[in-house]
Homo-oligomer: A and B are copies of this chain.
């Protein structure tokens, strides 16, 4: 169901309406495209959500243009950021490759700018945009160095170092889910083996839960749920976790352990003050954070000889990608403006 509305109670604030810069953020997701008008403080001024024309790259571009046009007619906005899945080039213009969308070497920024006269566009990776929102307006707002892992079907990543989003030399930094954790391990959709997301993502949780169910024992409620539903899905495992079912918690602990081990390796390189865990599984809260911290401490190099990071769950759940994309576009426009002496 599509929805479009101004956010109640927003937009009438005299400070927010006093000329501070607003930006549009678009998040192209697998099921929906979210477009938001976002203020400097991360506040949602308007939000529009439409179903993604899945698999049809041209229809997605048409939809994004339509949504930006409609929002910019109603709101005074001159910059827009688009968050897309996949690898984005370092000039934030080109989508090298987007899984699930028929894009390869797609000049997305140029395609949009030619049809949106006067609108300044940027393109970012969707996990980076969501992580940036978390850094600016969520769990990461008090630190300078933050690493976010978004645990969904895969493991998405976003890295902030010294108050800046880490984009990398070619634009595809922060692909934490594809850090190898097991030599010769499980094959990954990326073509490599042993990637973290094969051990620490939603699919791995289901695999472990199914294995525990099949092995009986503490997995009996899991097995019952499996028999009842004809197979365990994320919803049923999530419900069993919320009920503190021992089998489901064992599967969650194994996932958390892999995430914690991954964070120990990441920490040796990035040394963040904070790890933020996002995505659907993060709803498990301390049931997940506990095993992550435990595994991190068991595997961190030189434990006790330097400060350890904190582990928390994400605070922004809805529309973080759109909020982050808008803020990145605004920050970029301001930086370019400052560099040009404006």
Contact = CB atoms under 8 A, between A and B. Distances in A.
Interface of A: 87, 96-97, 104, 143-146, 157, 159, 161-162, 164, 166-176, 178-183, 188, 190-193, 195, 261, 264-266, 268-274, 299-303, 305-307, 309
Contacts of A269: 157, 159, 173-176, 179, 266, 269-270
A48 B169 CA distance: 36
Given A195-B301, A300-B192, A270 B168 contact: yes
A291 to B, nearest CB: 16
Nearest to A176: B269
A92 to B, nearest CB: 13
Q: Is the interface of A mostly helix, strand, loop or mixed?
A: loop
Contact of A169 (B167, B179, B303, B309): B309
A169 B191 contact: no
Contacts of A164: 162
Interface centre among A87, A181, A301 (most CB of B within 10 A): A301
A169 B273 contact: yes
Interface centre among A104, A174, A302 (most CB of B within 10 A): A302
A69 B273 CA distance: 37
Given A97-B306, A168-B271, 18 more contacts: A87-B305, A97-B302, A104-B305, A145-B168, A159-B269, A162-B166, A169-B272, A169-B274, A175-B268, A175-B271, A178-B268, A179-B265, A179-B269, A181-B183, A190-B301, A191-B302, A192-B264, A266-B269
Contacts of A97: 302, 305-306
B192 A273 contact: no
A265 B266 CA distance: 10
Contacts of A309: 169-170
Given A161-B161, A264-B192, A270-B166, A175 B301 contact: yes
Contacts of A305: 87, 96-97, 104
A264 B162 contact: no
A305 to B, nearest CB: 4
